[in-house]
Amino acid sequence: MTIALPRRIERRPISFDLSKPTLYAFAALLCVLIVLPMSWLVYYSLVDPSGTLTLDNFRQLFSEPAFLDPLLTTFIVATGSSFFCCLVAAPMGWLVARTNLPAARTIRALVTASFVTPPFLGAIAWEFLAAPNSGLLNKLYRALTGAEQDAYLFNIYTLSGLIFVICCYTFPYVFVLIANALDRIPGELEDASSNLGARVWTTARRITIPLALPALLAGALVAFLQAMTLFGSPAILALPAGFHTMTTKIWSLFQYPPKPELAAAASLPLLILTVMLLRAQHFILGRRGYSVVGGKSGNPRLIPLGRMKWVAFAACMAVLLLPVILPYAALFNAAFSPIATTLLTPGNATLQNVRFVFFELSATSLALKNTFILGALAATFGTVLALMISYLTTRKVVAGHQALGFLATAPIAIPGIVLGVGLFLAYTRPPLVLYGTLWILLLAYLTIELPAAYQQMQSAFRAVHSELEDASRILGATRLQSLRHVTAPLLRTSVIATWCFIFVSVIRELSAAIILFTSQTKVVSVLIFDLKESGDLGAIAVLGLCMLAITFMVVILINRISGFGGNLRRVAG
Amino acid sequence: MPTNRFSRRDVLKGSTALTVGAVFAEPLRAAVPEASAITPALIEAAKKEGKLAFYTAMDLQFAQQLGKKFEAEFPGIAVRVERSGAERVFTRIGQEYSANIHAVDVVNTADQAHCIVWKRNGWLAPYLPEDVARHFDKRYYDPDGLHVTTRILVSPLGYNTNLVKKEDAPKSFKDLLDPKWAGKMVKGHPAYSGTIMNATFQIARDLGWDYLEKLAKQRVMQVQSATDTPKKISLGERAVMVDGAGYLVIRYKEQGQPVEIVYPEEGTPLATGPSAVFKAAPNPNAARLFQNWMHSRGAQQFLVDWARQYSPHAQTVEKPSVRPLKDIKLMMEDPEGVHAQAEAIKKRYAEIFKV
């Protein structure tokens, strides 16, 4: 639709502005992406299997213990995770951003590592570590204390175990929000406070903490939402622990005979709660948006910790042992030892798991191929889409651009598994039967990643002032030419960073894929999940390490290009 | 309202049809299809297709070995193994077929009740391999030649010998209710595993649901697949397995892992694992070749030797170290019963065990 544009514009009299049709096209596309699956979701929740309107699904949902228990469990898990995430992440964010903590960059890098670790993989690694009897940490405990054979220190198969694992991979969201907020607080405010005679603690209490509070609140909400809608960790831990969360319950409703009506009804509370919480966050942040970002201010003043700085460093590293260092070590151990939870020694090291995964397991190559194709396609389409929409909204090319921005951000309110259910309902029927193809997964990934990509591209566009484009337009370039020769080169790094970001996120996605895959469209995350079912732990460890290796190659690439922290922030927000 | 998926109604309709069908079954039944040999023409046609998708519930390691062995005997035909628990395989095929996706060539499940549904839906192709007609007892294949029992599974108890002394080991299902086993047992789940679905049905029938209710009070660790429980006792994560793939316990013991099998006094649950070729198989010739080969003496002996499963093939030879099937007190398999009650079992089980 755009290729013909430059030539046409040279003949001014019949010049035709394609901006509007483009806008409408994108708006229509986004509507199809979001509104269609969500409408089917609502419709299904209101009918019985024969198609008659009924409220019976909701009655069942709110009266049967089989649904009420998971609802309650989910609430406890989400609240608990949110609380503990803030408890750990807030002091850490402050230490990293506002004090002379040693190796702050390393700590930020390790937080990034826990952010990109797939939650289901982390949960499996924590099984290796803290299963009550076979867990490595419990074995160590028994070896050190000489305790009885069934004594244990940790039991990961409990509600608190699940909350702990969720926290491990959710706290980066809170950390990044807080650290970035503190990064942005100008040092002058604190200086002014100390000049007026306030002590360090008073300054912290009266200036720093109130300024960081909105970020903390936002972090608490984001952590709550993450924990509430997470499928991976509960799917690994909840069954052995003997309970369901809402996400695992929704998934189990697809067992034969499938009950899509109930699944749809059970998805709606998650969707509604997410929308409400995001509105609340917007409301709170909107009110308390202290205008500290305006103007150029000095770098934040770093508080010298003195000798305490090594204590603080040790504390941070101790925290980061949990999501990154210990689980990665456990995965490595499981990959190369003969039995997953036997301690690896030079004597018992084996490559049998590697051989099995790459030379015997026939699903590996297909899953890897699908994952790569989907990652690359979603990243490419997603970046292009985000780029176009951001251009239309930041340059305010046409009226109605706000609606486009809203649509592009809306999927943030759709939990992965809910989107999965919606897409399943929408695309298993004519006219558009996409189930069974990679397209349906591509749609899911695009929808899930669009808000983050859009926000990244939008701020990139904002950073490039439009006067540069205007100058080129004045010198006779068409809109597209000035885009190509002026804006595009300036945006290149952001575009690459966004591409990589989507790619990494697609690799670790499980909650939508678990509903939408078929045997021919299996991806690595689903393959790992299947291997978990039969307890083939060595193979999981090898595949998991592969996933992490690919992820880190991409993350390092982004880091070479731009600060990843910035991207992370926009996602978490 | 969509028509392209199963609803509970379809299942009900199906059951009715089945009952009606049973009344008239005898006179209406088609003749047993002629037994087919592996012919050069079949091999040639299969090689042209070059691949097949094998959906199965058997242990992944063995399924892959079986695939590799087939690929070695018939170079140029790649076997893609699609493994998950039998109930999930069943769900998967149902979901794919209701969306008109015909991806499965050959299936091997661990729950005969699945074949009742597939047969009723008309999804299976009649195909009777030569060896089956000659060396399989009639109870091990469908009279219409639509499915053949590939392997016979028992779901015994098992324990970790480092954690439990031989004299302390449980000898019966009843023993498991002893408070000393509280928090020390692991169990598979009937919503994922066909073996466990059958075992649950048989235990509930023979020992009563109140047995399972008492068992649930023992804080049993719940895993999904019947192939996972032996792994969990081998790791030492739990001391005793309540149910699961007996063949893996035998196999792990032979590999030197600290596990031991117990055939409970009340009887050992039994599940026969049937295989079938799908009518709409994308690789029909490769599918038939694989189905035929899988029930040949060579492959069946491999099943016994490598996977330590019981074979329905009369000519296979079991090692003396394993208790022969005829010497095990078995619970009775009842596919029709499982078929009729599967959904109720899953529901009741979830109520009792909370997952």
- CA–CA distance, B101 with B337 (Å, rounded to integer): 29
Residue A150 forms part of a structural domain:
yes
Q: For residue A65, which residues of chain B lie inside 8 Å, CB to CB?
A: 351
- The pLDDT score that the predictor gives to residue B30 is 53
Beta bridge partner(s), residue A47: A53
A214 upstream amide cis, omega within 30 of 0: no
**DSSP characters over A247-301:** HHHHHHTTSSSP-HHHHHHHHHHHHHHHHHHHHHHHHHHHHT----SSS--PPPP
Residues in chain B: 355
Q: For residue B165, which residues of chain A lie inside 8 Å, CB to CB?
A: none
Residue type, B273: G
Residues B285 and B143 in one domain: yes
Taking CB atoms and an 8 Å limit, are A533 and B88 in contact across chains? yes
Q: How far is A237 from chain B (nearest CA, A)?
A: 10
Residues B125 and B169 in one domain: no
CATH number at residue A196: 1.10.3720.10
Residue A220 forms part of a structural domain:
yes
- CA–CA distance, A159 with A149 (Å, rounded to integer): 23
Q: Which residues contact A324 (CB under 8 A, 6 or more apart)?
A: A110, A113, A114, A117
- The pLDDT score that the predictor gives to residue A279 is 86
B104 touching chain A per CB within 8 A? yes
Beta-carbon count within 10 A of A365 CB: 11
Residue A231 forms part of a structural domain:
yes
Q: What angle do CA A455, A459, A463 make, to 5 degrees?
A: 170
Of A69, A240, A539, the CB nearest to B223: A240
- Number of A–B residue contacts, CB under 8 Å: 163
Among chain A residues, CA nearest to B66? A360
Q: Which stretches of chain A drop beneath a pLDDT of 50?
A: 1-14, 289-296, 563-573
- SS3 for A329? helix
Residues B246 and B297 in one domain: no
Residues B111 and B197 in one domain: no
Residue A110 forms part of a structural domain:
yes
Residues B113 and B199 in one domain: no
Residue B327 forms part of a structural domain:
no
Q: What angle do CA A137, A551, A232 make, to 5 degrees?
A: 55
Q: How many domains does chain A have?
A: 1
Beta bridge partner(s), residue B129: B36
CATH number at residue B16: 3.40.190.10
Beta bridge partner(s), residue B160: B259
Residue B183 forms part of a structural domain:
yes
Residue A497 forms part of a structural domain:
no
Among chain B residues, CA nearest to A155? B237
Residues B254 and B310 in one domain: no
Of B65, B82, B227, the CB nearest to A363: B82
Q: Are B247 and B273 in contact (CB under 8 A)?
A: no
Residues B121 and B219 in one domain: no
Residues B206 and B140 in one domain: no
Of A240, A436, A534, the CB nearest to B60: A534
Q: Which residues contact B245 (CB under 8 A, 6 or more apart)?
A: B59, B153, B155, B195, B226, B227, B229, B230
Which three-class secondary structure string do you get for chain B? CCCCCCCHHHHHHHHHHHHHHHHHHHHHCCCCCCEECCCHHHHHHHHHHCEEEEEECCCHHHHHHHHHHHHHHCCCCEEEEEECCHHHHHHHHHHHHHCCCCCCCEEECCCHHHHHHHHHHCCEECCEEHHHHHHECHHHECCCCCCEEEEEEECCEEEECCCCCHHHCCCCCHHHHCHHHCCCEEECCCCCCHHHHHHHHHHHHHHCHHHHHHHHCCCCEECCCCCCHHHHHHHCCCCEECCCCHHHHHHHHHCCCCEEEECCCCCECEEEEEEEEECCCCCHHHHHHHHHHHCCHHHHHHHHHCCCCECCECCCCCCCCCCCHHHCCECCCCHHHHHHHHHHHHHHHHHHHCC
The dihedral of CA A13, A19, A25, A28: what is its sign?
A: negative
HSE, CB side, 13 Å, CA atoms: give it for residue A377: 16
Tokens standing for residue A296: 């150029």
Residues B282 and B251 in one domain: no
- CA–CA distance, B96 with B107 (Å, rounded to integer): 14
Beta-carbon count within 10 A of A187 CB: 14
- CA–CA distance, A30 with A52 (Å, rounded to integer): 30
B187 touching chain A per CB within 8 A? no
Q: What angle do CA B40, B45, B50 make, to 5 degrees?
A: 120
Residue B329 forms part of a structural domain:
no
Among A151, A2, A254, A415, CA closest to B163: A151
Q: How many domains does chain B have?
A: 2
- CA–CA distance, A1 with A18 (Å, rounded to integer): 8
Among chain A residues, CA nearest to B94? A256
Residues B210 and B250 in one domain: yes
Q: Among the residues of A395-518, which ranges form H helices?
A: 401-409, 416-427, 438-463, 466-474, 479-482, 488-508, 513-516
The dihedral of CA A367, A370, A373, A379: what is its sign?
A: negative
Residue A140 forms part of a structural domain:
yes
B216 touching chain A per CB within 8 A? no
Q: For residue B222, which residues of chain A lie inside 8 Å, CB to CB?
A: 239-240, 242
Residue B334 forms part of a structural domain:
no
Residues B277 and B129 in one domain: yes
Q: How far is A563 from chain B (nearest CA, A)?
A: 41
- The pLDDT score that the predictor gives to residue A194 is 82
* Counts of helices then strands in chain A (DSSP H, E): 28, 0
Residue B117 forms part of a structural domain:
yes
A338 touching chain B per CB within 8 A? no
A53 touching chain B per CB within 8 A? no
Tokens standing for residue A408: 């592009």
Q: How far is A515 from chain B (nearest CA, A)?
A: 11
Residues B112 and B177 in one domain: no
pLDDT per residue as tens, chain B (355 positions) = 444 444 544 544 444 444 444 444 444 455 678 899 999 999 999 999 999 999 999 999 999 999 999 999 999 999 999 999 999 999 999 999 988 899 999 999 999 999 999 999 999 999 999 999 999 999 999 999 999 999 999 999 999 999 999 999 999 999 999 999 999 999 999 999 999 999 999 999 999 999 999 999 999 999 999 999 999 999 999 999 999 999 999 999 999 999 999 999 999 999 999 999 999 999 999 999 999 999 999 999 999 999 999 999 999 998 888 899 999 999 999 999 999 999 999 999 999 998 8
Domain assignment of residue A110, given as a range: 68-243+298-334
Of A252, A436, A533, the CB nearest to B85: A533
Of B1, B228, B235, the CB nearest to A134: B235
Domain assignment of residue B308, given as a range: 8-152+271-322
Q: For residue A433, which residues of chain B lie inside 8 Å, CB to CB?
A: 99-100
Taking CB atoms and an 8 Å limit, are B84 and A530 in contact across chains? yes
B5 touching chain A per CB within 8 A? yes
Residue A404 forms part of a structural domain:
no
- CA–CA distance, B57 with B104 (Å, rounded to integer): 13
A149 touching chain B per CB within 8 A? yes
- The pLDDT score that the predictor gives to residue A17 is 67
